[in-house]
Chain A
Amino acid sequence: MLRIEQLRKNYHGTEVLRGIDLTVEPGQVVCLIGASGSGKSTLLRCLNLLETVDDGTVWLADESGAEQDVTDPRVDVDGVRRRVGIVFQAYNLFPHLSVLQNLVLAPTRAAGVSRQAARERALVLLERVGLADKAGAYPDALSGGQQQRVALARALAMDPEVLLLDEITSALDPLLVGEVLDVVKGLRADGIAVVMATHEMAFAREASDVVAFLADGEIVEIGPPEQLFDAPQDPRTAAFLARFRD
């Protein structure tokens, strides 16, 4: 689905990503863990082309298996973004539009979906994130957890093949984290590949297929959750995880 090879990114001379290799299979849930500043968010932003990449390639495969290098400057950026959705920590809903309009805007204006079809799909998605009754409300009237669920539904409305989740529960009241993570768990049924930067270790352990631990712009250790959490091979992984225990 997504094959990342030797991805590098500099910010003003500082290497934020130093050669990331990562493969995401269709329908897989991959969690990125690591301290703040380890490069998790930058990696996700590179995959969605919100950041330009300095070196390396990101291969995005379509249904037929044909791969396309999305870091190529000639690539159809908007086309890639329609296939690779992203949800941010700060929700970033459009405050001047109702919840329903937030979901309808991109499908109708970027993907050529008819207004009617986009509305119907939006209502189904709102039902799914448990907010069907909020279709007419404006974002500022919703709680953080509700706004983040709308943001998830908004990204899903574009029918992405890959969904990038950038610490989507970090800004939430602990009581509201669960309702958002429940929606993420439900994505498995759709076969959407998910790459998620998170500090929710229990969730990463329970819901992901692969967990990658990042430090200083590198993937230090990667593997199935049981292995990474219960038998970390690298002392840095062990030290990081120890801070989350007790």
Chain B
Amino acid sequence: MVLGLLLLGVVSSPGWDRVQRTFFDWQDAKDSVGPITEAFWLNVRLFVVCEVFILVVALVVAVVRVVPSPAMAPLRLLATIYTDVFRGTPTLLVVLLVGFGVPALDLAGAPTSLFWLGVIALTLSYGAYVAEVIRAGILSVHPTQWASGRALGLSYGRTLRHVVLPQALRRVTPPLLNDFVSLQKDTALLSVIGLVEALRQANIISNRDFVFTPLVVAAVLFIAATIVLARLADWLTVRSMRREAGGL
């Protein structure tokens, strides 16, 4: 109802005709959807690869920060500094620093491909966020779960791996996927270092033809990818709830 009125208001506004021509032109959309979709595959590849790396980095950082052993103290400090620094730095800034900084160093063996530089930048930035989410999940598992794992003779590491982490990860799946949704959108940031991904491609076309419809096409693609992930999150949550409630 509210949405309908809002839509009516927009469509009946005096400038609507011009907006429709530049933003929602069917012919422009059909012409640009091909190249933009092709470029969007780069976004998909980027975020799939990033998600894997982020999970690994975040898991390691979270575990290092949780383990109380004094031998881990230096690593723990390192992990804390890492999360503080990268959670505090705007992702765009990290992308610029890694994208232009790392190749400028001229280090032997340092990646020069824009794809991998982009992956490194996003992994560094999101790894810090996701590590905190996972750490919160680990800390939310009740101490009696640790006690009963240890009491059965399981070592600290095995209690963590088989008792605590599975419960923690299940609990943080919704916020984790939320971060991944955000990551999918932030792959567009990599256009600033010259990767021709969906947003960049859309921009190229709209600058050439003086229309904005390609940007809308890119937006629709990003939304579609997000919806897939959101439904996956819902499904996973419902499934684990149902299983533990005793159904199966």
Interaction A to B: yes
A92 to B141, CA, bound (A): 12
Q: Are B162 and A138 in contact (CB under 8 A)?
A: no
Q: Which residue of B lies closest to A78 (CB)?
A: B153
By a CB distance below 8 angstroms, the chain B residues around A96 are 166-167, 170, 244
Q: How many A-B residue pairs have CB under 8 A?
A: 75
CB distance from A84 to the nearest CB of B (A): 9
A14 to B157, CA, bound (A): 32
CB distance from B230 to the nearest CB of A (A): 24
**With known contacts A109-B158, A109-B162, A110-B158, A48–B246 Cβ distance under 8 A:** no
Any chain B CB within 8 A of the CB of A155?
Answer: yes
CB distance from A190 to the nearest CB of B (A): 18
Any chain A CB within 8 A of the CB of B208?
Answer: no
Any chain A CB within 8 A of the CB of B231?
Answer: no
* B144, B158, B243, B247: the one within 8 Å of A88 (CB): B144
- Total count of chain B residues near the partner, CB < 8 A: 23
By a CB distance below 8 angstroms, the chain B residues around A81 are 150-153
* B147, B153, B246: the one within 8 Å of A141 (CB): B246
**With known contacts A50-B150, A105-B154, A106-B152, A92–B246 Cβ distance under 8 A:** no
Interface of B is mostly: helix
Q: Which residue of A lies closest to B167 (CB)?
A: A96
Any chain B CB within 8 A of the CB of A144?
Answer: no
Q: Are B246 and A140 in contact (CB under 8 A)?
A: yes
CB distance from B193 to the nearest CB of A (A): 42
Q: Are A154 and B144 in contact (CB under 8 A)?
A: no
CB distance from B143 to the nearest CB of A (A): 10
Mask, B8-21, CB within 8 Å of A = 1, is 00000000000000
- 22 A-B pairs with CB atoms under 8 Å apart are A48-B151, A50-B147, A50-B151, A82-B153, A88-B144, A90-B144, A92-B147, A92-B148, A94-B167, A95-B167, A105-B162, A106-B153, A106-B154, A110-B154, A110-B155, A111-B153, A136-B248, A138-B245, A138-B248, A140-B246, A141-B247, A158-B153
| Known pairs A86-B151, A110-B152, A111-B153 / 13 extra A-B pairs, C-beta < 8 Å | A48-B151, A82-B152, A88-B148, A92-B145, A92-B148, A96-B244, A105-B154, A109-B154, A136-B248, A140-B244, A141-B246, A141-B247, A158-B153
